[in-house]
Amino acid sequence: MRSYTILLIILFVFSVKAQEIPDSMLYKWNPSLTAGFNFSQVSFSDWAKGGENAIAWNSYVNFGLVYKSEHWVFKNQLRAIFGRTQAGDQPNKQNENEIFMENLVARDLGWIFKFAASNTFLTQITTGYNYKVDPAPKISDFFDPAYITQGIGLLYDKSEYVQTRFDLAAREIISNEYYFEADDPTTAEIEKFKFDLGLNSVTDLKIPIAENVLYVSKLSLFSPFKKLDIWDVRWESLVTAQVNKWLATNLSFVLVYDEDQIKRTQIRQAFQLGLVFSIL
């Protein structure tokens, strides 16, 4: 955890560059939309060394909508990813299943920081399964559970490469059938809703490594006031190398530590080559 903080401080110091917003970007909504499809396949026929046919795919959408004036900023982001995989004669399985939304409004204070209010939403697109058990039981579904966080605090966005905010925040975990993360094990009653007040921090990095290579990172931290010595961590990193206008390779890494889910560090990583479309 300390190493992440040091890294962010170094990047903050060495990458600060004041943003000059073109007049053409002011006083209107500026949309952006990127969609992609990744696919991998391997098959064998009378292969002496053995092997198993396999297919994997995922698709994603990243939509943004930004409005800026001399003193106000409104930012909206919607990101969704879904994928499946199949090996041999086994049933196809889910490998990606997530939808994320972030809304932010900020007011210039005539200072290095802006006053900001934010709302984030994270859940699954469809049913999730635990494939470590056979038969695989259902463990999640759309809005079951869902994580919603509202924050009020300070935003720094005067750098081209790094934006960060620090909030007083409220986080809700909403569930129905899959209430494990919202339930308090110390009580006899089953709780399907959990509410915490605490501190929240979100830092976004966007650093061009080369002309056609981009590094994007998002580090989200939350700690409830009742457990300020424990921080929930979600660190998303993505390196994208653009081969041409419609072909790109991605290296993604996601690290999660959330004791409501599991008291161990969760890691998801993927290397993919696929089609990408920047529509807006």
Q: Output the pLDDT for position 1.
A: 47
Task: Evaluate if residue 10 carries a pLDDT over 70.
Answer: no
For residue 193, give the DSSP letter: E
27: left (phi over 0), alpha (psi -120 to 50) or beta: left
For residue 6, give the DSSP letter: H
Task: Evaluate if residue 89 carries a pLDDT over 70.
Answer: yes
- Report how far residue 183's alpha carbon sits from residue 121's, in angstroms, rounded to the nearest whole number: 19
Beta strand extents in 124-243 (DSSP E only):
128-129, 138-140, 146-156, 162-174, 193-210, 213-224, 232-242
pTM across the whole model: 0.86
Neighbours of 204 (CB within 10 A): 18
> For residue range 172-211, what is the model confidence (pLDDT) as tens digits?
999 999 999 999 988 999 999 999 999 999 999 999 999 9
Q: Output the pLDDT for position 17.
A: 46
> For residue range 14-37, what is the model confidence (pLDDT) as tens digits?
444 444 556 567 889 999 999 999
Q: What is the mean pLDDT of residues 220-246?
A: 94
> For residue range 107-149, what is the model confidence (pLDDT) as tens digits?
999 999 999 999 999 999 999 999 988 889 999 999 999 999 9
Provide the residue ranges of all domains of the chain, joining segments of one domain with +.
Answer: 2-278
245: left (phi over 0), alpha (psi -120 to 50) or beta: alpha
Q: pLDDT exceeding 90 applies to what percent of the chain?
A: 70
Kindly give the pairing relationship between strand 232-242 and strand 213-224.
antiparallel
Q: Output the pLDDT for position 224.
A: 97
Q: Confidence class of residue 91 from pLDDT cuts 50, 70 and 90? A: confident
Neighbours of 185 (CB within 10 A): 6
Do you find a cis peptide bond into 185, omega within 30 degrees of 0? no
For residue 230, give the DSSP letter: -
Structure tokens at 121: 């939403």
Q: Which fold has domain 2-278?
A: Outer membrane phospholipase (ompla); Chain C (2.40.230)
